[in-house]
Amino acid sequence: MKVQLTTLFVFFSLISLAQTETHWKKSNFIINPELLVGLTMESNHGFPKRKLQKQFALNLGRSHKNNPQTWAQLLKGPKTGVSMSITDFGNLDSLGIAYSVMPFIEFKTFRSERWKLFTSLGASYFTKKFNAETNPKNEAVTTDLTWAFRMYMFYKLHQSKKIDWRIGLGYSHHSNGHTRLLNQGYNSFLLSLSADIKPFYTENEIFKPQPPTDRNTYNYIAFRGGLGKNAFALAFNDKKDVYTIAGEYGKIYNRTFKLGVGFYYRFYQHYYDYINNNESLVQAGREFDYFKGNPWYYASNVGVTLHGEVFLNHFGIDLQLGINLHKPAYKIDWRINQGWDNPPREIPLGWVLGEFDGSFKKKQIISSRLGLKYYLIAMEHAPKNNFYIGAHLNANLGQADFSEISLGYVYSFNFDD
């Protein structure tokens, strides 16, 4: 699953540089080398000592200020592209180096050309990870490949025809999306110095597109199927499947923004196997012994969602917030993982388990989903029938639940031109 996600992100990144009309692209290509320094935060008790984090990034992208497409003009000419970076977390022996590839988008903010908000989501490869014998103090990651996320605010210090100099401040995160435990993740706060180099800048712009005037709104219905992977607990640390079917209905505004409501059904193989195999907490006389009466039912998850998306022609930046109406086996998950550390497979009666406190109640009820989609037909054309492939991180109120690849279908109707 991690290899598939990484391949998908690289695919997204490469085609993002070649998805728009060619008559304006060359003059808007930008190379952005970036140096970053900052702090790698402590991921766990006894985390290895470290010096300043040092990072070099090369961001290859394109300004869409002169892109005549609707989405580019409504979003005020953002920048898109791919960011490639190498990171030294300040302790090469224990924390190693991360190599990252992340598609990014950069927006103008505060209604100013000097301030920009940069965000990216992709994947990282780590040279060091947790090992109980050789690297026990680093509980940040236990997999070679992880999700990677950056959010930065940039300020333009100096502008010229060929180079714009910028400083920035932001947050970076790496974690494996709950595909293996331990998974504390890396959290970092960094300062940035970068230069937007415009090698193909021409003094006379090819054209100056006007903001679109053909505003339209239309309805859609969509269906998707997803295959996810996650781990359950340290004693059940192999990856197993999470199957999803989902649907939604809503509106698409100006071929750029989508808002909808929907539902999802998920089936967790880990939960089903734990119940079906008569593991510790479902054995006769234990708290969840009644789950054995219908393992499929108790391993299922049903919920409703509010769904938002921003279209960048072929691409979609996707965010979903949901309410779980039925997720009973999460109670077992919480009992095992929020009590004493390193619970064994057979949990003794005297073992301290996680309490059903306020945090549990919120995480059992609220779900979230963040990721990227690639549409077969550009959303700029408002197709009636369209298909997409997506990569997403699913969470319980911000705590990673599972990583997922999905395939979906969208049908659009009732155009109001």
Looking at residue 203, its pLDDT comes to 46
State which residues of the chain have pLDDT below 70.
1-27, 200-215, 415-417
What CATH number is attached to the domain comprising 100? Answer: 2.40.160.20
Alpha-carbon gap, residue 264 to 154, rounded angstroms: 38
- If asked whether residues 26 and 119 sit together in one domain, one would say yes
3-state secondary structure the chain: CHHHHHHHHHHHHHHHCCCCCHHHHHHHEEEEEEEEEEEECCCCCCCCCCCCEEEEEEEEEEECCCCCCHHHHHCCCCEEEEEEEEEECCCCCCCCEEEEEEEEEEEEECCEEEEEEEEEEEEEEECCCCECCCECCCCCCCCCEEEEEEEEEEEEEEECCCEEEEEEEEEEEEECCCCCCCCCCEEEEEEEEEEEECCCCCCCCCCCCCCCCCCCEEEEEEEEEEEEEECCECCECCCEEEEEEEEEEEEEECCCEEEEEEEEEEEEHHHHHHHHCCCHHHCCCCCCHHHHHCHHHHCEEEEEEEEEEEEECCEEEEEEEEEEEECCCHHHHHHHHCCCCCCCCCCCCCCCCCCCCHHHHHHHHEEEEEEEEEECCCHHHCCCEEEEEEEEEEEECCEEEEEEEEEEEEEEEEEEC
Please state, in angstroms and as integers, the Cα–Cα distance from residue 106 to each residue in 65, 99, 116, 220, 222, following that order.
Answer: 12, 21, 6, 28, 28
Identity of the amino acid at 352? V
Looking at residue 200, its pLDDT comes to 67
Looking at residue 67, its pLDDT comes to 84
Q: Kindly state whether residue 47 falls inside one of the protein's structural domains.
A: yes
Please state the separation of Cα 91 from the chain's center in Å: 26
Looking at residue 160, its pLDDT comes to 87
| Among the listed residues 155, 145, 164, the one whose alpha carbon sits nearest the alpha carbon of residue 32 | 164
- If asked whether residues 288 and 178 sit together in one domain, one would say no
Alpha-carbon gap, residue 265 to 267, rounded angstroms: 7
Looking at residue 65, its pLDDT comes to 84
Alpha-carbon gap, residue 341 to 352, rounded angstroms: 9
Q: What is the span of the domain harbouring residue 263?
A: 217-416
- If asked whether residues 310 and 192 sit together in one domain, one would say no
Beta bridge partners of 126: 98
Alpha-carbon gap, residue 292 to 288, rounded angstroms: 8
Alpha-carbon gap, residue 410 to 269, rounded angstroms: 28
- If asked whether residues 52 and 149 sit together in one domain, one would say yes
- If asked whether residues 192 and 226 sit together in one domain, one would say no
Q: What is the pLDDT of residues 309-324, one digit of tens each?
A: 999 999 999 999 999 9
- If asked whether residues 169 and 280 sit together in one domain, one would say no
Q: Kindly state whether residue 402 falls inside one of the protein's structural domains.
A: yes
- If asked whether residues 175 and 262 sit together in one domain, one would say no
Q: Kindly state whether residue 202 falls inside one of the protein's structural domains.
A: no
Neighbours of 29 (CB within 10 A): 17
| Among the listed residues 368, 225, 336, 320, the one whose alpha carbon sits nearest the alpha carbon of residue 271 | 336
Q: Kindly state whether residue 151 falls inside one of the protein's structural domains.
A: yes
Q: Kindly state whether residue 120 falls inside one of the protein's structural domains.
A: yes
Q: What total of structural domains would you count in the chain?
A: 2
Residue 17 token pair: 């540089």
- If asked whether residues 47 and 103 sit together in one domain, one would say yes
- If asked whether residues 234 and 108 sit together in one domain, one would say no
Looking at residue 12, its pLDDT comes to 52
Q: How many residues does the chain have?
A: 417
- If asked whether residues 223 and 193 sit together in one domain, one would say no
Looking at residue 201, its pLDDT comes to 55
Residue 157 token pair: 């210090």
Please state, in angstroms and as integers, the Cα–Cα distance from residue 247 to each residue in 34, 141, 225, 301, following that order.
Answer: 41, 33, 9, 14
Which residue, of 197, 228, 253, is where some domain finishes?
A: 197
Q: Kindly state whether residue 205 falls inside one of the protein's structural domains.
A: no
- If asked whether residues 237 and 170 sit together in one domain, one would say no
Q: Kindly state whether residue 19 falls inside one of the protein's structural domains.
A: yes
| Among the listed residues 381, 312, 373, the one whose alpha carbon sits nearest the alpha carbon of residue 61 | 312
Which residue, of 197, 226, 254, is where some domain finishes?
A: 197
Looking at residue 24, its pLDDT comes to 54
Q: Kindly state whether residue 142 falls inside one of the protein's structural domains.
A: yes
- If asked whether residues 259 and 288 sit together in one domain, one would say yes
Looking at residue 415, its pLDDT comes to 56
Looking at residue 417, its pLDDT comes to 45
Percent of the chain surpassing pLDDT 90: 75
Q: Would you say the C-alpha torsion 400, 262, 69, 78 has a positive or negative sign? A: negative
Which residue, of 168, 197, 226, is where some domain finishes?
A: 197
